[in-house]
Amino acid sequence: MSSSGCVLVDARRVFAESFGGAEPQLGVFAPGRVNLIGEHTDYNGGFVLPMALPLVTVLVGTPTSDGKISIVTTAEGADAPHRVEFEAPQDGRPLTPGNPSWANYVKGVIQHYRAGPVPGFNAVIASDVPLGGGLSSSASLEVATYTFLQQLCPDDGDPVQKALSCQRAEHTFAGVPCGIMDQFISVLGREGHALLIDCRSLEVTPLPLTDPGLVVLITNSNVRHELTGSEYPARRRQCEEAAKALGKESLRDASLGDLEALKACLTEECYRRARHVITEIARTTSAARALKAGDYRAFGKLMVQSHNSLRDDYEVSCPELDELVSLALEVSGVYGSRMTGGGFGGCTVTLVEASAADRTKQQLQEKFSGSATFYITKPSEGAGVLLL
């Protein structure tokens, strides 16, 4: 756990600086994620195929007896102030979201924690998951917070309920009607495996991803377009509208045949949104089969189809992500490349032969019109406790 090691050192140092030289008693971590394929399918009851990253959010802290919660963040890019204090919720008095926005993820998880009451505590948050980079920095903060609370006042340990509580925190305290993918993989990630998650039944199929000849390269475009806030809920609404028009509970239940038959009942835009979701769900199960068979070429093709569908039908890509994908696909040894996460900026994920990884980075470094950051990653473990 080399990355969480560095983040942990940072968190411990800041804890001592912030809380009178004391050493924290407890430490936990929760990873960010990259989604290999299955984008904007989770809130449609579809399949996703993410893996947990070695990039993590760490939370260290100590319970106190004064009922006050005092938290400091060192996360780069977090809005000010970087220290907040509030009363632990008591006697049914709920916490409410406010400023700074980073604290809302923590407050939301405290509010939706499944055991309690939560005592006061002092804590420091540190993270190397890039904020707003599409690698689930928020889910990793939620899941780290929940994992910390489990050390203070244990719940029943049910991992699925844990992910669902963190998702609820994001809905109610961050105002993002997200699906379950990010919180789920941050809790249940498995070293050396991508997880095929059925977001309707929440059944998980771990798929080994340890071939030394293969690299998962993440490229952060370092752009974030401000559309995310309004566009994500809008997409979700359009999917619900489309499902209703097709007489289905969710788009998971619809086929392309259903969609074509009732095309006239939908706006052209809703039709395209639904077409993305229906084809993306099929691509994700095909990709899982290809990965199982070691057919990286087939997997890569599906990634490119996914990107094109997100760009043209779902309209959540942006010129910088399109550029990164096109440049990567010019390199021999690249199987496939696509935008990953919610979209409108953030990262691409590229599946590439290990021997071509440096070449790919070099091409992107030299030819991308913006300034990119790279991560060569391996599927990592979900959230856990750190020995201090």
Q: In the numeric block, which tokens belong to residue 135? A: 């690698």
Nearest approach in angstroms of CB 80 to ligand GLA is: 25
**Contact region for ligand GLA (CB under 6 A) — 34-42, 190-198, 255-263, 270-278?**
34-42
Task: Please pick, from the candidates 4, 29, 37, 42, the single residue that binds ligand GLA as defined by CB under 6 A.
Answer: 42
Neighbours of 17 (CB within 10 A): 12
Q: x-or-dash pattern for ligand GLA, window 314-343, by CB under 6 A?
A: ---------------------------xx-
120 binds ligand GLA (CB under 6 A): no
108 binds ligand GLA (CB under 6 A): no
133 binds ligand GLA (CB under 6 A): no
Helix H or strand E segment including 195: strand 193-198
Helix H or strand E segment including 61: strand 50-64
Q: In the numeric block, which tokens belong to residue 40? A: 């904007």
Nearest approach in angstroms of CB 73 to ligand GLA is: 20
How many angstroms separate the CA atoms of 181 and 313, rounded?
21
Q: x-or-dash pattern for ligand GLA, window 342-361, by CB under 6 A?
A: x-------------------
**Nearest to 224, CA basis, from 345, 371, 373:** 345
Neighbours of 184 (CB within 10 A): 29
- Residues facing 194 on adjacent strands: 207
Task: Please pick, from the candidates 72, 163, 181, 327, the single residue that binds ligand GLA as defined by CB under 6 A.
Answer: 181
Neighbours of 265 (CB within 10 A): 14
Outline where 117-248 has alpha helix (H): 137-152, 159-169, 181-188, 228-245
Residue closer to ligand GLA, measured from CB, 15 or 232: 232
Task: Please pick, from the candidates 182, 313, 320, 353, the single residue that binds ligand GLA as defined by CB under 6 A.
Answer: 182
40 binds ligand GLA (CB under 6 A): yes
Task: Please pick, from the candidates 39, 128, 313, 381, the single residue that binds ligand GLA as defined by CB under 6 A.
Answer: 39
Residue closer to ligand GLA, measured from CB, 281 or 291: 281
Residues that bind ligand GLA (rule: CB under 6 A) add up to a total of: 10
Whether residue 182 lies in the annotated active site: yes
Note whether 348 and 325 are within 8 A (CB). Answer: yes
Nearest approach in angstroms of CB 166 to ligand GLA is: 11
Phi, psi torsion values for 103, nearest 5 degrees: -70, -20
43 binds ligand GLA (CB under 6 A): yes
DSSP state of 264: G
Task: Please pick, from the candidates 118, 178, 270, 281, the single residue that binds ligand GLA as defined by CB under 6 A.
Answer: 178
Catalytic, out of 158, 182, 295, 313: 182
Strand, helix or coil for residue 82: coil
Rg of the Cα trace of the chain?
Answer: 21
**Contact region for ligand GLA (CB under 6 A) — 1-9, 51-59, 178-186, 219-227?**
178-186
Helix H or strand E segment including 361: helix 357-367
179 binds ligand GLA (CB under 6 A): yes
Q: How would you classify the pairing of strands 68-73 and 120-127?
A: parallel
Contacts to ligand GLA by CB under 6 A: 39-40, 42-43, 178-179, 181-182, 341-342
As annotated, the active-site residues are 182
